[in-house]
Structure 1
Amino acid sequence: MSAGDRDWDGVRLHVVTGKGGTGKTTLAASLALALASGGKKVLLVEVEGRQGIAQLFDCPPLPYEERRVAVAPRGGDVHALAVDPEAALLDYLEMFYGMRRAGQALTRFGVVDFATTIAPGARDVLLTGKATEAVRRRVRRDRADRAARRPEQARAPFVYDAVVLDAPPTGRIAQFLNVNAEVAGLAKVGPIRNHADRVMEVIRSPETVVHFVAMLEEMPAQECLDGMAEVRGVGLNIGGILVNMVRSPLLPPDHLATAGEGEVDIDALARGLKSAGLEQAEQTAQALSGEIVDHARRVRAEADVRDRLAGAGRPRYELPLITDGMDLAGLYRLADELREQGAA
């Protein structure tokens, strides 16, 4: 896949959401690897406090600090950050009020829990704010370096080529991303309003898209479609559909069509088992025929779900089921699949 064939050129913030159990964090990590491939620098941000990224990359629990966790294929680095609301609050107080010490004292009294009880969106503002700050951050240059550059080169490059946000599940993704707009409505002027406006400027920009993780099953697919409608309803940009844990059919299409109607040639199946040297071929053929019918009907149901997802009109990427457990090799394999299909 050539560079010009990639679907998300120009996108710098990739938000990944999905129903619980669909492999959302796994695909967020794989997408980060894919985006970093070829010498890029990508930040993978976790906001749910589960340390899922550390487990996937087989590293110690992540502190509130950006650390390199992987080298991408053909060069490139993936850094990761587990955002802690209290630490993010300290950053916020320091950035806008110069109150880090006061903030440290406040956190001892549980001010974050108090504030987020009074204004539930405050926690999400802190979490999304850290991700969008990383999107905007540029490399620092000293004065001499800036003076030596031509005017068209004066602006420093971004620290990260892309940021991948492993976001909350689909059921609350629209509220999570749009909460800054709600908080901005509470504060008409001042640093809080300015902060919320900057966050929403990044989230609503063409440089941000929301990807949805789904499976070829009814409930995850429906939640994916419902989530896309909600996100679109609050004016955010829909990305692609990452269809996870896809299993290849075990039989040719004509056999699947027949078996899907409940028709299996048990005698032919028994003869094949006998020729393979299996004992009790007839009994085994009877048992296998039921499994063949079930398999064919599952493939048919998956095809129906695939058609429904295709109807959403967004790019889709199908990622294989990795049956021997997810590890680093599995992440790199999924990253390769995403690149080959044009996602990065």
Structure 2
Amino acid sequence: MTTDWARARLHVVTGKGGTGKTTVASAIALALASSPAHVLLTEVEGRQGISQTFDVPPLGTEETRIVRLSGGGEVVGLSIDPKAALLEYLQMFYKLGRAGRLLEKFGAIDFATTIAPGVRDVLLIGKIYEANRRRRDGKHKGDAAPVYDGIVLDAPPTGRIGRFLSVNSEVADLARVGPIASQAGSITRLLQSDQTVVHVVTLLEEMPVQETLESIDELRDKGLHPGAVIVNMVREPLLDDVALDQAREGRLHKASIRTQLTEAGVSATPELVDGLLEEARDHAERIDLEREQLALLEATGLPIVQLPALATGVDSGSVRELADLLVPLFVGHEDTDDRVRA
């Protein structure tokens, strides 16, 4: 399967809290690295979710390799700190050097990164922009290959993603000239280009799906490119469609259930049988709700990816399993899995 964004360089991953966006972002980075490729996986919320996912020491402000694949690909991790990003920015554009450290000593850096509206987000995105431009010869322009073949950003949640990604456009409107306006304009062009796609992680529940739909509309309104809708933690129905219909209507055969319980060595009391019938009805209603939510997501016209619930929890091994499912979509191999479809 191919997509319009299969060759995108910057993959932004958002989602409502609790949907597993850090896990999905990590799996996307592994999928991209399998090509093989040199991939940067970044986070901007200071939660150290990446280090916990891969069971490595907490990430700092230096880019650190966290995974090397047998095929030669690797994933480098980075936790972007707005204070360090601002000091780097001041040195890069204004050559402040020691003066920048003095600003930090007197609290000006903390003020800029915590009080001044939008500055924090500008700095966070600016660091990603710099990593995207950086070449293997150490320059930011020229014919040399880029340091990273792809960048994955574990971004803020859906409720804040539109503001986060559009803040540079607002800054460019305020600062008409100078290096701030120039960089803000360049970052906006990158984010609105086909090099950048925004993937939204959700669960098949009403609130996450509603936030997903709203964020997709917001991204489109701001000239950004939604990528895939990634439905996480999907569980297969425990009953086939015929049994689901029977459970929904209370028509499951009690005698058959009693017989199967007895054959399994379980005492088939009336209370137990009635309890199982009630659970079956609840399960059928849950499947109906999930299918309704899935239909709403499919109506967006975006690729839908379903990832299974991990029975053993999230660790580096299970994330690799999810990455294997994502390879066809993000790398373009033809051996697509049934769970990945457009």
**TM-score normalised to the size of structure 2?**
0.92
Moved over 6 A (4+): none
Q: Which runs of 5+ in 1 are unaligned?
A: 143-153
Corresponding residue number in structure 2 for 1:158: 146
Q: Residue 112 of structure 1: CA displacement?
A: 2.9
Corresponding residue number in structure 2 for 1:306: 294
Q: How does 1:79-94 map to 2 (within 5 A)?
A: 79-94=76-91
Per-residue displacement from partner, 1:170-200 (whole Å, max 9, x unpaired)?
A: 0010100000011111211111111111211
Corresponding residue number in structure 2 for 1:150: none
Deviating more after overlay: 15-24 vs 260-269: 260-269
Corresponding residue number in structure 2 for 1:205: 193
Deviating more after overlay: 179-188 vs 271-280: 271-280
Corresponding residue number in structure 2 for 1:285: 273
Corresponding residue number in structure 2 for 1:261: 249
Corresponding residue number in structure 1 for 2:337: none
Per-residue displacement from partner, 1:7-46 (whole Å, max 9, x unpaired)?
A: 6322000000000000011100110000110320100010
User: Relative to 1, partners in 2 of residues 1:100 and 1:264: Cα closer, same or farther, differing over 3 Å?
Assistant: farther
- 1:23 paired with 2:11, answer no
Q: Give the distance between the partners of 1:266 and 1:108, measured in 2 at CA.
A: 75
Corresponding residue number in structure 2 for 1:173: 161
- 1:111 paired with 2:108, answer yes
Per-residue displacement from partner, 1:222-241 (whole Å, max 9, x unpaired)?
A: 00000111111111111110
What percent identity do the matched residue pairs reach?
51
- 1:42 paired with 2:30, answer no
Q: Residue 211 of structure 1: CA displacement?
A: 0.6
- 1:236 paired with 2:224, answer yes
- 1:273 paired with 2:270, answer no
- 1:223 paired with 2:220, answer no
Q: Residue 73 of structure 1: CA displacement?
A: 6.2
* Two-structure CA RMSD over aligned residues (Å): 1.7
Q: Which runs of 5+ in 2 are unaligned?
A: 332-342
Q: Residue 106 of structure 1: CA displacement?
A: 1.2
Equivalent residue pairs, number: 329
Deviating more after overlay: 43-52 vs 117-126: 117-126
- 8 A contact 1:16–1:211 mirrored in 2: yes
Q: Give the distance between the partners of 1:30 and 1:283, measured in 2 at CA.
A: 44
- 8 A contact 2:82–2:113 mirrored in 1: no
- 8 A contact 2:5–2:194 mirrored in 1: no
Corresponding residue number in structure 2 for 1:147: none
Corresponding residue number in structure 1 for 2:319: 331
SS in 2 for 1:81: strand
Q: Give the distance between the partners of 1:195 and 1:129, measured in 2 at CA.
A: 8
Q: Residue 279 of structure 1: CA displacement?
A: 1.9
Corresponding residue number in structure 1 for 2:334: none
Q: Give the distance between the partners of 1:215 and 1:141, measured in 2 at CA.
A: 41
SS in 2 for 1:70: strand
Q: 1:13 corresponds to which letter in structure 2?
A: L
Q: Give the distance between the partners of 2:138 and 2:95, measured in 1 at CA.
A: 23
Q: How does 1:130-169 map to 2 (within 5 A)?
A: 130-140=127-137, 155-169=143-157
SS in 1 for 2:330: coil
Q: Give the distance between the partners of 1:66 and 1:339, measured in 2 at CA.
A: 24
SS in 2 for 1:14: strand
SS in 1 for 2:84: helix
Per-residue displacement from partner, 1:63-110 (whole Å, max 9, x unpaired)?
A: 101111012463310001000001000110111011132222212222
Q: 1:330 corresponds to which letter in structure 2?
A: S
SS in 2 for 1:243: strand
Q: Residue 272 of structure 1: CA displacement?
A: 1.1
Q: Residue 343 of structure 1: CA displacement?
A: 3.3
Q: Residue 6 of structure 1: CA displacement?
A: 5.9
Q: 1:132 corresponds to which letter in structure 2?
A: Y
- 8 A contact 1:38–1:73 mirrored in 2: no
SS in 1 for 2:181: helix
Q: Give the distance between the partners of 1:81 and 1:171, measured in 2 at CA.
A: 23
Corresponding residue number in structure 2 for 1:65: 62
Q: 1:322 corresponds to which letter in structure 2?
A: L
Q: Give the distance between the partners of 1:93 and 1:123, measured in 2 at CA.
A: 14
